């Protein structure tokens, strides 16, 4: 295994965990339990020592500080939301406990220490929707027991999923659904920001509410500004990196300090994070353990479908977080293990359920940020010359350009573990007092900042921006030019359909069912889209979300995309007929066929080779995520 | 004269109004009164009919709407400030009357209808500083008569200046002082924005104050966003132009409407522009005419030096506004007339003084915007190819780029005249009611937007940004690379010294003396700077503000810059000695000398030719203002 460390890109095809070439009962994933988990551990175990050793560098510190802030702040933000929605059943201490538990378990025992597990908006949405349902059913006093059983069922189905190797199916997820999901999450975050802001207005005086709104707006703008410094050529590389690495820290300290400014600002009486006694559950000093065994059997079974829905949500959300944290744009060397981690997630669900804390799962928008903060980037100077073609000119203009390259990711467990310790630290009295100094309004800003950075990264947003811009000024190398405006619009339309429906149900009792909508985008992509779009169009517009070799190894290798299979079939038919044929009759389709023919040289080497080539082409065509350029 | 219409750049050297080659008493400007005014009128009169005819197009409408908003809104904003500072001596009606009077006079009678005259921050500063002085002298009840006499003296000195052709000296103003002045104006605007915001907080409830602050921030951000659309490739050229042309209109209508939104926003009770009776002076329904003849003679003479200070301010401020409105970046065809216009300004000072309205003069930050809105721009597609040199690569990357070219300026009087009519319209009852619907907080946003757009355009800001950025990523064609960082810093330092002193006195009783500080930068530039910097450095860092042929014609032609004269002298000395010499001994100086030698071919054609060449070189080196590029 360590031989792989030196290869530039990890090749999942050589991994022993594969289902290809298997026949009979051996090819059924469900019939061979624990196979994925076994290989996950075997694959990752050799790296364990290096996960600790590699933690001894500056990036670990940056990673710890950054992830601590962007894990803790939204967790508290969602907690405030959840407290409102469940009449105080969940509080700050529960949020800290949950985050700390997850961080401890996943930093020490997971196969993917880069995946950060914490409190998401969905568990908040989920908890208060279930609360509303129990209220409607008149069993609101049984809510703790009921939600405990939901969690127990969820834990059981998590374990089942992990044991039966079902996490393999994550490899079929493409940007079509994952970016629609990301877009939906971004919108939810933005909306939550406004909800938090208006809640403050209602819960305190209008003066305090408006002062809070100003702080929230300024906080949001500061984060955007500080993070954008990295892509400029201002200051020195060190200062640029410092400002963007610690954007949340700087903004949080600055605006919290300012909110304590004497006179008008302090006197406005803005609300702050509530005080809670250290280590105790937030309300009524109950014991941590819930007496879940007292729930009537009838309700235990009502909890089952809800538990399954929760598993469905976590299956998608948590694994997507893992994929994002280990995306292809990062030069990762250590292999992933989705099955084992999902089993662990089942364990935290179980523990979380019986002590009644919000269940933690993988954070999606934060995943990218955390791995990014552990990545060593290098600014290099690229010189180029530019010559006008139209209007023609002999004069050459020279450019200096800053090109940022990701050279190395500090893959380790230390920063994750340190974050866990910091979270436990914040459960103690003195640090809870520190939390209390933060104005609640700041969390509206946190929602906006996290939501905004998620939204702009989604392909839906980028496609919409492309549609809004004048095509003639687009970069000639832009692959989107290969697709008609209508085609892009059509693709985005289907995504927005999913987003729209999900948003629609989010604000109703049916909210817990929203994972079904997002997941239904996957078959839509696999069955309907290849029939609407040509292979080339899908190559430009869509890509498998699980694109890095390190994660594909844990999922049994790279799947064949349906449009590729369809083209293959068509081609072999044509080869059989010995003639060109009309294809689907459209010009772009025959152009595609030609594109395919030019690849014929590789055909003997089998389908696998073709897939690899396709993946390379995608890298070339796709947004070069590892290269962030700033014009000099 | 009309033959000039077809030449690409107006040549001021052929203008009959010149002082070159004159000797004896004829070369003294003061001894030949009315010469400048006579030639101004003769030069401009032939264009009068075309000034009306050229107004029959869409740009006139855009210009009218845009200048109306950015003239009226700051005027009201300053008025609110002035009302506070003079205990109500000046009100909305005075502001409207003053703006309307100036617009009527200057749109119909001026030589430079592009110069928009209105209420500036300085007249506000001036009026309330004089008020404070009269308060201190115990003659506050004589304030109207005193300020009337100040205005009368100012009018007299205006006339004297115009008659004696002293406006010619404006040609010695370089960006060194004019950009320091612009920077100072920008800072004052930003500060006024904050003052307006805090004033609202104090004058109304904290709730209303904070709601106002949110509106101000959002208004400012909307303007910035809308105006930036023009440089993007979003939407179509028509929509882009629409959004940026009407940025103030859209933002004002939007945020005013939102401030009337029922429930929390409306109920917060934000202050709005005060109601006033139509056509009457704001307070005590006094007659418009001030009984200035009742002022004791002693105070009449005290008013004299203050009047001269006012003339000094207007001399700089008004003429700078004319130069900005007719800057080189605009392809102007019609010639200017500074002397005549300054005489007219004396007339408005006189009228304004005796009816006690704030005295109007040329608006500086708005000048650029107005001419810009009358300019026809054309977006063209430029194609280029780019090749990496370091690291070397054979691959060519193709770029599409949007290049915006100014093709034509609709130079006419109609939009200016229509603005005058609109201002008069707003003095009537129903439209005063419309004004009353605007929340006062919006004016804080107006201050920020106008101040911000002024600040970013100044060379001080651009130099500071350059100093903050990493030099190695700078564009190799950037002329600033030819000057050391220390050199740039030193240049900016002197400018900031002027700005700092001006700001320092602005908040004291000595505020009325600040024009002296700004004007003292001019001799500093002409005497000290050529001894500190090399000719090349000054060529990069500094340029005459009066750079367009159309305005230089009215000032007796282009002056020889002192560093050029010094180099010339040095060169002729060297030529006389027949040897190279050591120059000032520094490497850059000898490099300069070589640069000069390469121009020797032109020497026979005289100094004028050299100057013209220098001006061309400046155009090449300077920021290409007519070309605003957006990357495709």
Q: Give residue B582's pLDDT band: very low, low, confident or very high (50, 70, 90).
A: very low
Q: Is the pLDDT assigned to residue B488 strictly greater than 70?
A: yes
Cβ-nearest to A384 among B388, B400, B402? B388
Nearest to A390 among B235, B237, B382 (CB): B382
Tell me what pLDDT residue B625 has.
35
**pTM, full prediction:** 0.85
Extract the tokens encoding A563.
Answer: 């449009």
- Which of B456-460, B475-479, B565-569 holds the top average pLDDT? B456-460
* Rg of chain A over all Cα atoms, to the nearest angstrom: 25
Question: What CA–CA distance (Å, rounded) separates A337 from A39?
Answer: 8
8 Å CB contact between A476 and B381 = no
Give chain A's residues under pLDDT 70.
Answer: 1-11, 282-285, 577-632
B349 — pLDDT class (breaks 50, 70, 90): very high
Nearest-CB residue to A210 (from B211, B234, B237) = B211
The string of DSSP codes covering B356-422 is T-PPPEE-SHHHHHHHHHTEEEEEEEEEEEEEEEETT--PEEEEEEEEEEEEEE---SHHHHHHHHH
Residue B10 has what pLDDT?
A: 62
Task: Please write the tens of the pLDDT for every residue from A375-385.
Answer: 998 888 888 88
**Cβ–Cβ < 8 Å for B335, B182:** no
Interface test with A, best of B264, B400, B461 (most A CBs within 10 A): B400
Tens-digit pLDDT profile for residues A152-168: 999 999 999 999 999 99
Strand, helix or coil for residue A386: strand
Q: From the CA of B631, how many Å to the nearest CA of chain A?
A: 8
ipTM above 0.85, yes or no: no
Residues in chain A: 632
The residue with greater pLDDT, A310 or B615, is A310
Q: What would the pLDDT profile of B148-197 be if each residue is shown by its tens digit?
A: 999 999 999 999 999 999 999 988 888 898 899 999 989 988 998 998 89
Mean pLDDT computed over B108-112: 94
Nearest Cα residue in chain A from B383: A390
CA angle A578, A581, A585 (to 5 degrees): 165
Number of Cβ pairs < 8 A linking chain A and chain B: 137
Minimal CA separation from B218 to chain A, in Å: 9
Choice between B396 and B451, residue whose per-residue pLDDT is larger? B451
Query: Searching chain B, which residue's CA lies closest to the CA of residue A629?
Result: B473
Burial tier of B429 (Cβ tally within 10 Å: 0-12, 13-18, 19+): exposed
**At residue B615, does pLDDT exceed 80?**
no
DSSP for A29-72, please give it: GGGSTTHHHHHHHHHHGGGHHHHHHTT-SHHHHHHHHHHHHHHH
Binning pLDDT at 50, 70 and 90, where does residue B627 land? very low
Beta-strand relationship, A396-409 and B375-390:
unpaired
Q: Please answer yes or no on whether B470 and A233 come within 8 Å at the CB atom.
A: yes
Q: What residue ranges do the domains of chain B occupy?
A: 12-621
What is the pLDDT at residue B34?
92
Phi, psi for residue B620 in degrees, rounded to 5: -65, -40
Which of the residues A388, A400, A403, A445 would you substitute to probe the B interface, choosing the one with the greatest number of B C-beta atoms within 10 Å? Answer: A400
pLDDT per position as a tens digit, B223-257: 999 999 988 888 988 899 899 889 999 999 999 99
**Is the pLDDT score of B461 beyond 80?**
yes
- Give the tokens for residue B294: 């009742």
Q: What is the pLDDT of residue B282?
A: 67
Q: How many angstroms separate the CA of residue B467 from the nearest CA in chain A? A: 9
pLDDT band (50, 70, 90) for residue B203: confident
Mention every residue, 6+ apart, whose C-beta is less than 8 A from residue A599.
Answer: A610, A613
Indicate whether B2 pLDDT > 70.
no
CB of A16 less than 8 A from some CB of B: no
Q: CB-CB: which of A210, A381, A400 is closest to B214? A: A210
* Interface membership of B214 toward A (CB under 8 Å): yes
Answer whether A386 sits within 8 Å of B386, measured CB to CB: yes
pLDDT at B452 over 50: yes
CB proximity A392 to B under 8 Å: no
In the prediction, which pLDDT does B580 show?
45
Return all residues near A176 (Cβ < 8 A) that are at least 6 apart: A491, A494, A495, A521, A524, A525, A529, A541, A542
CA atoms of B78 and B73, how far apart (whole Å): 9
pLDDT at B550: 87
pLDDT in tens, B399-421: 888 888 899 999 999 999 999 99
Sign of CA dihedral A534, A540, A542, A543: positive
* B399 vs A: CB within 8 A: yes
Q: What is the pLDDT of residue B586?
A: 38
With a pLDDT cut of 90, the percent of chain B lying above it is 38
**Residue A499 vs residues A61, A126, A363, A518, B429: alpha-carbon distances, Å:** 37, 17, 19, 8, 51
C-beta of residue A82 within 8 angstroms of C-beta of residue A65: no
How far, in Å, CA of B100 to CA of B97, rounded? 5
Q: Supply the DSSP string of A239-261, one letter for each residue.
A: HHHHHHHTHHHHHHHHHHHHHT-
Q: Which residues contact B1 (CB under 8 A, 6 or more apart)?
A: B43, B46, B335
Distances (CA, A) of B385 to A391, A437, B208, B624, B632: 12, 55, 56, 21, 13
Query: B295-314: per-residue pLDDT in tens?
Result: 999 999 999 999 999 999 99
Local structure of residue A397 (DSSP, 8 states): E
């Amino acid at each position: 295994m360590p031989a792989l460390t030196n290869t530039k890109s990890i090749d999942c095809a050589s991994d022993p965990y594969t289902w290809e070439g298997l026949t009979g009962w051996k090819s059924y994933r469900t019939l061979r339990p624990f196979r994925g988990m076994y290989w996950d551990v075997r694959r990752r175990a050799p790296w364990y020592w290096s996960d600790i050793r590699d933690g001894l560098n500056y990036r670990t510190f940056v990673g710890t500080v950054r992830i601590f802030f962007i894990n803790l702040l939204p967790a508290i933000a969602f907690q405030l939301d959840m407290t409102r929605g469940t009449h105080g059943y969940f509080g700050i201490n529960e949020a800290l406990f949950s985050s700390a538990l997850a961080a401890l378990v996943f930093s020490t025992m997971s196969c993917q220490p880069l995946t950060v597990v914490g409190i998401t908006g969905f568990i908040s949405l989920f908890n208060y929707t279930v609360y509303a349902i129990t209220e409607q059913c008149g069993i609101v006093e049984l809510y703790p027991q009921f939600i405990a059983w939901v969690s127990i069922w969820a834990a059981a189905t998590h374990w089942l999923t992990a044991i039966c190797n079902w996490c393999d199916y994550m490899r079929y997820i493409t940007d079509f659904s994952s970016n629609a999901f990301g877009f939906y999450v971004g919108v939810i975050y933005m909306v939550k920001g406004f909800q938090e802001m208006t809640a403050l207005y209602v819960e305190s005086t209008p003066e305090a509410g408006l002062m809070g709104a100003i702080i929230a707006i300024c906080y949001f703008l500061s984060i955007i500004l500080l993070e954008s410094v990295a892509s400029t050529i201002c200051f020195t590389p060190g200062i640029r990196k410092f400002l963007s690495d610690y954007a949340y820290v700087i903004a949080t300290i600055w605006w919290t300090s300012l909110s304590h400014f004497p006179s008008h600002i302090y006197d406005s009486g803005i609300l702050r994070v509530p005080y809670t006694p250290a280590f105790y559950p937030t309300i009524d000093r109950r014991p941590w353990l819930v007496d879940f065994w007292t729930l009537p059997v009838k309700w235990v079974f009502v909890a089952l479908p809800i538990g399954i829905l929760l598993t469905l949500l976590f299956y998608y959300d948590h694994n997507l977080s893992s994929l994002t944290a280990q995306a292809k744009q990062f030069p990762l060397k250590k292999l992933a293990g989705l099955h084992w981690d999902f089993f662990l997630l089942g364990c935290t669900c179980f523990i979380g359920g019986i002590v009644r804390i919000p269940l933690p799962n993988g954070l999606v928008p934060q995943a990218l940020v955390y791995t990014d903060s552990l990545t060593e980037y290098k600014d290099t100077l690229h010189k180029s010359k530019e010559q006008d073609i139209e209007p023609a000119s002999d004069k050459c203009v020279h450019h200096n350009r800053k090109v940022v390259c990701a050279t190395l990711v500090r893959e380790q467990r230390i920063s994750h573990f340190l974050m866990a310790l910091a979270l436990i630290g914040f459960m103690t009295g003195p640090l809870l007092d520190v939390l209390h100094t933060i104005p609640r309004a700041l969390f509206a800003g946190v929602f906006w900042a996290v939501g905004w950075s998620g939204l702009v990264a989604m392909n839906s947003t980028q496609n919409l921006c492309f549609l809004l811009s004048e095509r003639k000024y687009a970069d000639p190398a832009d692959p989107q030019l290969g697709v008609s405006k209508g085609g892009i619009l059509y693709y985005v339309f289907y995504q927005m359909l999913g987003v729209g429906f999900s948003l629609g149900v989010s604000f109703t009792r049916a909210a817990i069912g929203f994972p079904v909508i997002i997941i239904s985008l996957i078959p839509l992509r696999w069955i309907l889209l290849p029939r609407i779009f040509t292979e080339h169009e899908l190559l430009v517009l869509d890509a498998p979300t699980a694109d890095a070799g390190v994660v594909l190894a844990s999922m049994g290798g790279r799947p064949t995309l349906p449009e590729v299979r369809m083209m293959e079939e068509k081609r072999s038919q044509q080869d059989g007929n010995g003639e060109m044929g009309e294809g689907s009759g459209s010009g772009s389709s025959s152009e595609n066929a030609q594109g395919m023919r030019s690849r014929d040289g590789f055909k003997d080497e089998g389908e696998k080779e073709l897939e690899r080539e396709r993946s390379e082409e995608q890298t070339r065509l796709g947004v070069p995520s590892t290269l962030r350029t700033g014009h000099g």
